[in-house]
Structure 1
């Protein structure tokens, strides 16, 4: 594979484009918004500069990486010669269905269609195409240029040849691919999201405060980041959407999202991207935001 099209220029999309371009692939980065594409290139440039500062890459490698990336608002044009398309649009099943239907129409017959979805069924996505054997999941981790894992998700009809090729391609990106089957949340989020939800429930019940919960998990379980801070980093709306996919997919009430999480998303407190979540990021740092409210609740139960 040589020509890669990445759909969506947000955090995951620009990270995926960065990873492919840095490894010598020709990348078409697609978004409906020209301003979003310019922002993505600025982000990639900034991240390449960080790699230079850490002596990970050279100035020449940065130049070559940026040269390998083209930006495009016309999906049909961007995907016309693609060997692989990686969709990294919003975690919304209707949006993904629409994109994959269009890709199936405009891409050459040999093109492999991959989704970076973190929870939605690859089998369902493949069903809206006429090439179900060539549809697969490539779930990268954030931040993509740094994190090594790629969950490679086989849909019901994904062929062995396509799965093998995507595993090898992931290795060429200096990633470690892990093949998993198509179940709601796959492996990463089937385990991670119930843990985050339980942390929110623990907070809501007044067992401990935000900082205390995160400290226990960091120091006691050797997690690099506490579950509530991680939820802020992922996006509380994303966490809520994934929990709902798990709840609907398995029909099990244990995946029901905590009412506090629902209320925070409804109020627009989505974490880092909105400036407020379990912590306040509006000043450019990280400060507790829910501490006083839940400290009162904890004291009332003592």
Structure 2
């Protein structure tokens, strides 16, 4: 199969490395040439596959045969600008997976010529270690597209949950509430980030505690998800903690800025000024 990946980021790289053994070719697209060059270096260092790889900042890929397209573009208006310009004339048999955590599958599909081919894809990063993934069915998603998406993910060894197109879907809504509550606990001084995460990992068997996971996702993305869920549902449980808002305002976004609830270039930030002993 021929794969096109929109967006040059770590999540895109993780998916590409996982799917490379099944792909005939992989094409990465991003308008940011520097991001593409960095991704190319990482991919060449991490992959032993000799399949055809392209990195392009324009729309120079062959649409004359069915494609498997994965959308990792950031959730912003820029995503829509790219999709409007692409206006994919996808052939019958192509699939478009969107990993948007904020926008509905039906909204993403509205920018494509054939909305029947669009399926939502949700999982906890990294993709390789995710035992279960969510496939989201939009209003126009065809039964054929959904079945083909299920077969592809099953071939990759994933357990599959199919959910309807609603704000936050299933996994994100459950996870984001846990993260927001953990930030409230930190803000109230009950424990340090390391103590909160360690207890949750040991007690519930989580691979990543909620604050480590938030750093991995990106605190700006977590904040956007909470605001989007509050707007979409009206439920006050999705109101973001003030500490999260202030950290994002201050540029502490998690791993991508080397500082979030943890520091990735120095010692762990235990937020001692917040803890009450």
The normalised TM-score by structure 2 is 0.91
Report the CA distance between 1:266 and its aligned residue.
Answer: 0.5
Query: Which of the pair has more CA radius of gyration?
Result: 1
Q: 1:184 to 1:79 in 2, by over 3 A?
A: farther
Aligned to 2:103: 120
The reply to whether residue 213 of structure 1 matches residue 213 of structure 2 is: no
Report the CA distance between 1:172 and its aligned residue.
Answer: 2.6
| 1-structure distance, mates of 2:230, 2:208 | 25
* SS of residue in 2 equivalent to 1:145: helix
Report the CA distance between 1:135 and its aligned residue.
Answer: 1.5
Query: Once structures 1 and 2 are overlaid, which stretch shifts more, 167-176 or 198-207?
Result: 167-176
More helix by share: 1
Report the CA distance between 1:108 and its aligned residue.
Answer: 4.0
Report the CA distance between 1:4 and its aligned residue.
Answer: 1.5
Per-residue displacement from partner, 1:91-149 (whole Å, max 9, x unpaired)?
Answer: 22x23322332333454465332211124210111123332212211224322233333
For structure 2, the residue ranges without an aligned partner over 5 or more in a row are none
The normalised TM-score by structure 1 is 0.84
| 2-structure distance, mates of 1:180, 1:119 | 15
* SS of residue in 2 equivalent to 1:257: coil
Q: Of 232, 237, 241, which aligns to 1:254? A: 237
Q: Of 155, 163, 174, which aligns to 2:138? A: 155
| 1-structure distance, mates of 2:168, 2:95 | 22
| 2-structure distance, mates of 1:174, 1:188 | 19
Contact 2:193 2:270 in 1 (8 A): yes
For structure 1, the residue ranges without an aligned partner over 5 or more in a row are 49-61
Q: Of 74, 81, 87, which aligns to 1:98? A: 81
| 2-structure distance, mates of 1:119, 1:203 | 25
Aligned to 1:69: 53
- Indicate the RMSD between aligned Cα atoms, in angstroms: 2.0
Aligned to 1:240: 223
Contact 1:112 1:135 in 2 (8 A): yes
Count of aligned pairs between the two proteins: 276
